[in-house]
Structure formats: structure tokens, C-alpha cells
Structure 1
């Protein structure tokens, strides 16, 4: 949320419409426990299930093979929380880091950033724009940053970094939806000083860096890998098969058809392809 009144009113309107739609469904699928908890007050618990996003596992790169001077941020610049995060880090956090680690470089990857972000380019900051592949940056960087101050949902940038064993420093906003344990699989800093201290701590302690990277990667594999999500999908469909479903009106049948089409297009194709 931007805290603008018009945005708040629009969000509340959308929420009412979504809840009304969910109540007409026999089953509602969300991608995180946090989202499930948000819906529990409005829906029977037995109508809710979690099928998390699939995060393919990347190549594990050990601490010693990474460039200790490179900090990375990735995100679509036209999404305001991303551009705000870059400006926040560059203006309020990076100076604190440079006091103790002047050799550090901050690389921003992604297209669509406003001029305020593009104008940061120079010195320790590199605004790279679109890149053909994230692989070189995920294998080179020493720390992935997600200094998000607002926004919602499970952050793909965090899952992608974890899949490579790349330690992540983020905020409470960035943590949402994963179920990660702060201090064990990820580091959380909600003030500039806290955030900078976590980054400096990883730069100065390769053992801690390796522990966070490995622990985060293991968590992702155990909870968000294709094999795990496949099991969860099967469990959901077994539950649905055992649930009595009343005859749907034409509108309901159309909605179900669209749901299956979307599920097949965005989720089930992964498993068909693997066979």
C-alpha cells in the first residue's frame, strides 16, 4: 500500500469483491500460510488450501567462489515498491555500509526504473537495466538485497536468490509469505542501521555467510521445490474429490472451466513436461 486514501479505498473495494467471490467457491487455493490466515475470518477453514509457488533450484555457489564486493537487487522498476527500495537503500543504507566497506558495489538489475533511480548510476552504484540472464549475477553476487518498505505477496526475487544459496538481507515486508526464520535462513533489518549491520556482518564473516546461504537453500528445496509442490497439489485434489459439490449454475461451470484452464496453463504443465 502507498498509504494514499484513494489506494486504500480501492484496496478495500477489491477485498470485498474477492471475498464475495471466494464464498461462492467450493475450494480456495492460496500460495502462503499468511494469505490463508487472512482469509480464515471470512471463510471456513476446510475451504482453504495452500499450494506455494514453485521455485526451481539453481546452481549452488559456495561462499568462496563469490565476489565479496557485489551486492545485488533485482526487480521490475515500474513496480513502485522496487524503485522505492532502490532509492531507500542507495540514500539511507549504502552510505552506512561504505563507511566500513568502501570497495562494495551495488548492482540494480531490471528494466523500467524511473529517472530518479537511473540517475543513481555511478561510483559504487550500477543501474544495469534488463539483462538476458540472471544466472551470472546470482552466481557472482555475495548478498542479495530486498530492502522493501511496502508491497505484498511472496517475493520471487528472494526465492530465486535462496535457490542459489545466495544469502538474502530483507525487511519484514520482504519476509512475508515464505515462513523463513529470521537469523537462520534469512536476515531482517527494518531500519537503515539494522540492514547495514546485517550486510556488514555477512561481508566480515564467511562462515556465517555460508551458514545462511546453505540454510536458506535447504529451506527452499524442502518447501517450494517442484517435487514438494506436486505432492501438495495431489493432496488438494484428493480433498476436492471427497467434498460433495452441488450442481453449479452455468456461471459457476464457466468459472470452474476458467480455473482449470489457468491451473493447467501456469502450474500443471510443469509436471506434464517432466514426464
Structure 2
């Protein structure tokens, strides 16, 4: 099994955001193992990104899908039964490109990233198929609609219901389904009855691991994420409004640093009205920005899958305070590798504790870094994925 057709809704280059980080590393490490991979994905421009040329054995087929077309398809999709995700990412050109590749490509495996691409190949027979569901999307939309305003709450509630119906349908048409979190896996198995589901978590590249604990800014609290998604923007606003003021009562010099890609105006404007807030948009080297932070926070009210911001902070030697929902299936122990809190008062107390107790901060940071080394390196994760693929082939 050495020839893979890899379907993705977007070219995973550069690897910014959870939806790109995971396929990027699958492609990076599998191609290094000698697998030939053809990526069929949508691209935001007419030309295909050449970033994949850094990997041997990788070919790219880029299909342009204008946003206005996707929006029109979503509007029409409201009258259909299919999840809006699938309507948004439908393209006749993509369908024809996939059909052509399967005719001439001599592929051993179709690897489909996310259910939004599953419709293209769910009826194909005679070739092994893997669906990387990554997250339980029906669960995520069910959570986020509680915090969304009209009409988005109504739309996401509808999408959750549709995905509850179609996630099992899509999964049943693939030979193996992958999921990034044990929490999501349990939900999909128990609530939706999905089988052939295997856990493949997210990870960290070994070169990203911090080399020893350096100096840190005792007043610096960091939150970083891809701000294209509602749940990350919601977490930043929730922390700023509900938690940060409680911290400021104990430490008037505390600073809240918000960093990430696709920063919306609602967050960018905070640095203009509050000099204790710093906002960084489209940061090239996130590790350089976060490594001197006292605390990294993940105050998620909506979360599924693996929160990359948590394992990236741990890899950088920065201790994390998170909600239990944000922790999800990450195999970290409360009080040893991470601190957890689910309301503003407890959350602020945990942050303040790390700002005041440097011994505890150092211990948690060291334990979390050991956890990443032991369980969350991409090399080991993708080796495990390869074994699942080889077993499937046998």
C-alpha cells in the first residue's frame, strides 16, 4: 500500500489551524516513509500552492472553489437533507478530478480528511478507503449553538442534527474511520453507533520541543489559536470579560496576549481600548511568542478533538490552565501536567497560583513536557497510523 489519493477541503500548507495541522503532518511523515501521495484539495487561488514540493513523493491537484459559490450552495443546501458542510464544499470540477485520478492513478488507498469530503467517494468500491473524521462535528455544533446568536444558533443546531444522521452513514461506507480524541470516539460509538473507529491523536514535531526551561515573564498570560473558528474567538472573549478582571485584582500588571491567524476586529480592537491586552495577528513563529509566557490558557466553552494550543504550549514548556471540555481526550492529569477549572473564579485562581508559585509552575511545565515526549510526537503517531493502514490492507 504505497500509493494514496488524499482528499482534503483545503491545501494543508502552511499548517495553520487544526484542520490543516493534522493532514499536513500525516502527509509529511507518510511521504518520508516512502508513500506516494496525491493531494486533491480546494485552493483559494487559481495556482496550486507549491509548499508541498518540500516533501518527496507528493503531487498536488488544486481546485478553485469561489466562496460566493459555496455560500450559494449552502443557501440551497438548507432545502436539502445533506449537511451544509458537504453542500459548501461541493464542486463538479473536484468530482471529475477525483474520478479521473481513480481511473488512471493505480491507487491503493483513498484517504479522506473530514466528512465534508466523504460524499465524493462514499459510493466507490474496490479500493480501500479511510475517513479521518478528526472530530465529532455533530457534537461540536451542538455545543456551539448554545453560545451563538441568531441566525447562527439556528443554523448550527440544524447542522448538528444533520451530522448526527450523516456521520454514521459516511463512516459505514469506509473501511476505517479515524478520530483524534477518546472523548469524541466515545460519543460517536455510544451516541451514534459508529464502528470501525480508531484513535489517532494529534502531535508535536520533536524539533519544536523546548530545550530546558528558560526565563519567563511572570505577568504574561497567553491564548493563541486560529481565530477563523467561533469557539476560539468565544474563548478569548470569555477569558477577557469573565476571568481576566479577577486576575487583575490580584496582579495589576498582568497582561493578556492574544495571538493567532485570522484575527477578527472584535479581538483586534481590545488592544486599543485596554493597554493590558496585546493582540498579534498572523504570527509566523508562535513558539517564539509563547515560550516566555507564565501561563497559557485554554478557556474553551466549545471544544472537540485535540486542542493543539494545549499540546503546543506543553511542548514550549509553558504550563496550561484549561477547562475540562478544552482538555478533552488529552492524557494529562489534573495537578500534574495541567490545571483545570470550569468557572471564572476557579480559573482565575489557578492562573494566579501559577503566577505566584514558581516551583509549582516549573513542576507542571516539566511534567507536561515529559508527557509530550512520551505520547505526543508526530513520528510515533504516524508510525501507529501506518500500522493501522497495513493491518487494513491484510
TM over 0.5: yes
Matching residue of 2:194: 43
Equivalent positions of 1:1-275 (< 5 A) are: 1-3=144-146, 4-41=153-190, 42-44=193-195, 47-57=196-206, 58-60=208-210, 65-121=215-271, 122-242=274-394
Distance 1:18 1:164, change over 3 A: same
Is 2:324–2:340's contact at 8 Å kept on the other side of the alignment? yes
Q: What SS does the aligned partner of 2:250 have?
A: coil
Which whole-Å CA distance do the structure 1 matches of 2:187 and 2:254 have between them? 40
Is 1:2–1:150's contact at 8 Å kept on the other side of the alignment? no
Q: Aligned residues, how many?
A: 240
**Deviation sequence 1:191-247 (CA, Å, 0-9, x none):** 1111100001001111110111111111122111123213412431343134xxxxx
Q: What SS does the aligned partner of 1:184 have?
A: coil
Is 1:63–1:206's contact at 8 Å kept on the other side of the alignment? no
Which whole-Å CA distance do the structure 2 matches of 1:27 and 1:140 have between them? 41
Q: Which aligned segments of 4 or more residues in structure 1 are displaced greater than 6 angstroms?
A: none
Which whole-Å CA distance do the structure 2 matches of 1:123 and 1:130 have between them? 20
TM-score, normalised by the number of residues in structure 1 = 0.81
Which whole-Å CA distance do the structure 2 matches of 1:20 and 1:154 have between them? 24
Is 1:31–1:52's contact at 8 Å kept on the other side of the alignment? yes
Q: What are the ranges of 5 or more consecutive residues in structure 1 without an aligned counterpart? A: 243-275
Q: Relative contact order, CA 8 A, sep 6+: which one is greater?
A: 1
Is 2:179–2:199's contact at 8 Å kept on the other side of the alignment? yes
Q: What are the ranges of 5 or more consecutive residues in structure 2 without an aligned counterpart? A: 1-143, 147-152
Which whole-Å CA distance do the structure 2 matches of 1:35 and 1:139 have between them? 30
| Cα displacement (A) at 1:178 | 1.3
Q: What SS does the aligned partner of 2:198 have?
A: strand
Is 1:56–1:163's contact at 8 Å kept on the other side of the alignment? no
Distance 1:217 1:81, change over 3 A: same
TM-score, normalised by the number of residues in structure 2 = 0.57
Distance 1:59 1:36, change over 3 A: closer
Q: What SS does the aligned partner of 1:153 have?
A: coil
| Cα displacement (A) at 1:157 | 1.1
Matching residue of 2:126: none
The structure with the greater share of residues assigned to helix is 1
Q: What SS does the aligned partner of 1:142 have?
A: strand
> Cα RMSD (Å) of the superposition?
1.9
Is 2:219–2:253's contact at 8 Å kept on the other side of the alignment? yes
**Deviation sequence 1:249-272 (CA, Å, 0-9, x none):** xxxxxxxxxxxxxxxxxxxxxxxx
| Cα displacement (A) at 1:62 | 5.1
Is 1:162–1:213's contact at 8 Å kept on the other side of the alignment? yes
Distance 1:240 1:56, change over 3 A: same
Q: What SS does the aligned partner of 1:69 have?
A: strand
Q: What SS does the aligned partner of 1:28 have?
A: strand
